[in-house]
Amino acid sequence: MSEKHLQGQVALVTGGGKRIGRVIALTLGRAGADVVVNYHQSREGAQATVREIAALGVRAVALRADVARPSQVAAMFRTVEKCFGRLDLLVNNAGVFFPRKWDELEEKDWDDVLGANLKGPFFCAQAAARMMLRQGRGSIINISSLGGLQAWPSYIHYGASKAALISLTRSLAKALAPTIRVNSVAPGTILFPHEQRDATIRKIIRTTPLRKPGAAEDIAQMVLFLAIHGEFITGQVFSVDGGKSIP
């Protein structure tokens, strides 16, 4: 998919300054899209990503916004409309991930996770949908997680937020049809080149049918597929997990 299938389109990737979000943003840029790279704290990473995308010959900007704060989300989308005049693709990638034992979870842990992983995607989708409905088309892709499909006892709050994001995906798909498609990509274990395979990761790999971890590019390619070829796909969850979610 190296052709410029997304030329003339505008994409916004939340949490696009690092890790999976960065790879998604670069992949969309390579496909010809102008890209808005949202970030909260990763300013340097977002700016570096924007420079790489701009070098591909497309437009790219970095916009700071805490997606858990609706006022900041609204301001970000006003800037997108002012700068680009349209939005074709929203990738809700920003999220919070950390372990907690069930008896140590506090209210702030829930607020942090639900704010970034559920409230943020909703308000971003709400703002994006208003733009997309006016232009008559659009696509929203929510990055959920295998943790939203399986029970992870050390990540109860995280799993609940991602399960809710999957439910949000399906509800929005019906609410926004037929104009806007809404889907979700659920990554399994994703490793980056510099990361070590500790005992936990090695155990996960052994119990994954394909016997290997995924790469950020695997997630980005699924996002790209849905953006380009998903015209008859909405309300679906695509597990990119090496078969780990197979019952």
Report the CATH number that the domain containing residue 132 is assigned in CATH: 3.40.50.720
CA 171/CA 201 separation, integer angstroms: 33
Give the distance between the most distant pair of CA atoms in the chain: 51
Task: Label residue 183 left, alpha or beta by phi (over 0 means left) and psi (-120 to 50 means alpha).
Answer: beta
Q: What is the mean pLDDT of residues 233-247?
A: 97
Task: Look at residue 201 and tell me whether its pLDDT is greater than 70.
Answer: yes
Assess if residue 91 is contained within a domain: yes
CA 149/CA 112 separation, integer angstroms: 20
Task: Look at residue 163 and tell me whether its pLDDT is greater than 90.
Answer: yes
Assess if residue 220 is contained within a domain: yes
Q: How many Cβ atoms from other residues are within 10 Å of residue 195's Cβ?
A: 10
Task: Look at residue 173 and tell me whether its pLDDT is greater than 70.
Answer: yes
Catalytic residue among 146, 158, 224, 226: 158
- The single residue listed with the structure tokens 């679906």 is 236
Assess if residue 246 is contained within a domain: no
Assign 2 a pLDDT band (cuts: 50, 70, 90).
low
Domain count, the chain: 1
Is 39 annotated in the active site? no
- For 179, the domain range is 10-240
Assess if residue 112 is contained within a domain: yes
Q: What's the pLDDT score for residue 1?
A: 46
Assess if residue 5 is contained within a domain: no
Q: What is the mean pLDDT of residues 56-85?
A: 98
> Considering the chain, what is the average pLDDT of its residues?
96
Assess if residue 231 is contained within a domain: yes
Assess if residue 165 is contained within a domain: yes
Assess if residue 245 is contained within a domain: no
Task: Report if pTM > 0.85.
Answer: yes
What b/e string do you get for 209-240 counting C-beta neighbours within 10 Å, with b at 16 or more? eeeebbbbebbbbbbbebbbebeeebbebbbb
Q: What's the pLDDT score for residue 123?
A: 98
